[in-house]
Structure 1
Amino acid sequence: MNTHEDSISIQFQGLLKECEVTIHQQFNKLDNPILNELFTYHLASGGGRNRAKLALYSGCAVNLAKKDTLAIAAACEMIHNASLLHDDIQDGDTHRRGREAAWYRFSVNDAMCAGTLMLSAAYAAVTEVRTATAELVQHMHDRTAQLISGQVLDLNHDNQQSSLDQYLKIAIQKSGSLMALPLELTMIASSNHASLLAARQAGESFALAYQIFDDLQDQRKDLINSSCNIVYVLEASGLSRPSAELQAVMLVEFYIQKALEQSQALPNNSGQLLADMCHQLSMALSPYTSQEAMQA
């Protein structure tokens, strides 16, 4: 790691806790004990905060003002968490990260309202950015619309009637939209518009790799719930189960490599954290690639 990367890493680590405070501050002013308790409970469930981390790291790398970097990070993380609150209701998932889901612990109506408010709060947060505010808000809306479109496609998805192209479209819209967003907003706020395409492609490629890897791990649960899963989509196309799994592993490797290449095209090493995430995913995939080699 060179001196520039060391400096980015130090700034990044210092901003992580501040970002969490920024998110909570959006709700501390509410005079509503039910919503306050629900938000505190949901946010305390953990999660990698990967979208916030991507915004914080890339913001530090391109020397974006601290206030602007925190606002973008908080906005991206709140959109993601709003989608999780709604997702759990629509999927009927009673637990998230080993704890009762917010709707199950409180109520469906409370969790729906909380998710909607959290989405609104994301837009309030990004108005704190001092440059290109209107463009940032519009871009957030475009990606939120893409996310919701992907969710509707997912809810109406049938593994037996779907194609690989349809699966990839759902994954890009539902997962890729929010993984690319923090990098895209950073590029817009720092006037690096020429890098917007690379930011989108890098985020979408990583999201595809991660989603397919997740499908490999969740085959049994997704079969029971009739959830969208690439293994069953490939199997429905005529592949045997082992061949479908091997194809899925190869797709994860393909999209990891694409994300790595695209992240390196971002300015000032701002894609390094995404590249690190790619390496971590590649390591997590290694048990599957070992099985692939044995069956080859």
Structure 2
Amino acid sequence: MVAPERVHSTEQTLAWSRELVDPALRAAVETLPASMHRIAGYHLGWWDQHGVRTSAGGKAVRPTLTLLSAALVGGSPREAVPAGVAVELVHNFSLLHDDVMDGDLTRRHRPTVWSVFGIGAAILAGDALLTLALDVLAASGHPAAGPGMRTLSAAVQELVAGQCADVEFERRSTVDIAECERMASGKTAALMGAACALGASFGGGSAEQVRHLRVFGEQLGLAFQHVDDLLGIWGDERTTGKPAFSDLRNRKKSLPVVYTLASGTPEGGELAALYAGTESLTDRELRTAAELIDRAGGRAWGQAQADGLMAQALARLEHLPPAPATAELTDLAHLLTHRTH
């Protein structure tokens, strides 16, 4: 695989990152107890529920942010691999628990872990990945490992708080946009910020460089969540790997939904009536809800917010010395805010 400074497409950048991170990720997961190893490998797309090898893994966006952040401050991406592995483990811990809480039956075009192995097993596997993430950092022996563990732990606390708010919002009749954005900042932006901060730290960056890259990651993460919420309504099931209208089925107070409910429009009132019901929404009602959000401007607002946040994130890179990784991070930011899955 070519070095990152010679990569000319985001797909190649992601492939380069996976080539560096995947062996270390697999080695870490190998240390889990057999029961957890089997479930984690299934979730990560390495084999099916019968142990037959497959290739259905994720994109490894967060480790890529980590490695590129290390390169951007003049460090070696290879030295940042343990940080990239730790971030990916935490991300997958959150996915395992998220699928249980949302009751989602599919992820990455396959049955979710809890639907195959049971709820208890999925929760325990998530716990195992979380503790493994901290162990990987501790075992790295890198000078930045100690502070890195605190950085990652703080991000997990924010992630848990954001997820807790997300669940709470489902029981509330009203949620304002500021609350929803704070929830998204914890649920998604905190870990992306930590991914970039860890990469900069493991790359030997200064405190100021670490701070700029953390904010870059946080703003990119919030933009990512805006797009994720749009895909949760209008994403194509064939590309997202999740059921159509999945967020609406769960009556989630996602960003475009909250925008519409707070819009003061007739569409907002109609959507509020649909969300106030207790029966499962029919396919027709789901389509109606999506149309209401679109007509109220929620879809256009979400994409505009994502674009604005991405611009703010990229402005942070202007505070750092020019480097080949700048172009890679810029291209990745564009991909994450204009993706289809």
Supply the AA of the counterpart residue of 2:37: N
Of 210, 214, 234, the match for 2:224? 210
Q: 1:106, CA displacement in angstroms? A: 1.0
Cα offset, 1:222, TM superposition: 1.8
Aligned to 2:146: 134
2:188 and 2:79 map into 1 onto residues whose CA distance is 24
Q: Output the CA distance in 1 between the equivalents of 2:225 and 2:249.
A: 18
Contact kept? 1:8, 1:60, Cα under 8 Å: no
Q: Which residue in 2 is equivalent to 1:169?
A: 182
- Is the contact made by 1:52 and 1:77 (CA closer than 8 Å) also made in structure 2? yes
CA distance in 2, matches of 1:108, 1:12: 31
Q: CA deviation at 1:113?
A: 1.2
Secondary structure, counterpart of 2:169 in structure 1 = coil
Q: Distance in 1 between matches of 2:134 and 2:308?
A: 34
Q: Distance in 2 between matches of 1:251 and 1:7?
A: 29
- What secondary structure, in the 3-state scheme, does the structure 2 residue paired with 1:256 have? helix
In the alignment, which of 82, 89, 94 is matched to residue 71 of structure 1?
A: 82
Name the CA shift for 1:108/1:266 in 2 (closer, same or farther; >3 Å).
Answer: farther
For structure 1, list consecutive stretches of 5 or more residues without a partner in the other structure.
286-296
- For residue 31 of structure 2, what is the aligned residue in structure 1? 29
Change in Cα spacing, 1:277 to 1:35, as seen in structure 2 (3 Å) is: same
Q: Does 1:273 align with 2:328?
A: yes
Structure 2 partner of 1:84: 95
Q: Which amino acid letter does the alignment assign opposite residue 149 of structure 1?
A: A
Among all aligned residue pairs of Structure 1 and Structure 2, give the percentage whose two residues are the same amino acid.
Answer: 24
1:48-81 CA-partner distances (Å, limit 9, x unpaired): 1000111122223334345531111101111101
Gaps of 5+ in 2: 46-55, 234-244, 268-292
Q: Structure 1 residues 114, 254: CA separation in 2 closer, same or farther (over 3 Å shift)?
A: same
User: For the Cα contact (< 8 Å) 1:75–1:122, is it kept in 2?
Assistant: yes
CA-CA distance at 1:236 after TM superposition = 1.4
Q: Partner residue of 2:209?
A: 195
Partner of 1:40: 41
13 and 251 in structure 1: CA distance in 2 versus 1, 3 angstrom threshold:
closer
Deviates more, 1:157-166 or 1:9-18: 9-18
| Structure 1 residue ranges (4+ consecutive) displaced by more than 4 angstroms after TM superposition | 7-15, 281-285
Question: Is the counterpart of residue 232 in structure 1 residue 257 in structure 2?
Answer: yes
RMSD of aligned Cα (Å)? 2.6
Task: Please say if residues 68 and 77 of structure 2, whose CA atoms lie closer than 8 Å, have aligned partners that are also in contact.
Answer: no
Instruction: Report the structure, 1 or 2, having the larger helix content.
Output: 1
Query: Over residues 117-137 of structure 1, what are the superposed CA-to-partner deviations in whole Å (9 max), with x where a residue is unaligned?
Result: 111111111120421322111
1:288 is aligned to none
CA displacement, residues 258-289 of structure 1 (integer Å, 9 cap, x when unaligned): 1221234344534443311222245549xxxx
Structure 1 residues 228 and 244, CA, compared in 2 at 3 Å: closer, same or farther? same
How many residue pairs end up in the alignment?
Answer: 282
Give the TM-score taking structure 1 as reference length.
0.85
Per the alignment, residue 5 of structure 1 pairs with 5
Preserved CA contact (<8 Å) 2:66 2:83: yes
Distance in 1, Cα, partners of 2:195 & 2:141: 13
SS of equivalent to 1:218: helix
TM-score, structure 2 normalization: 0.75
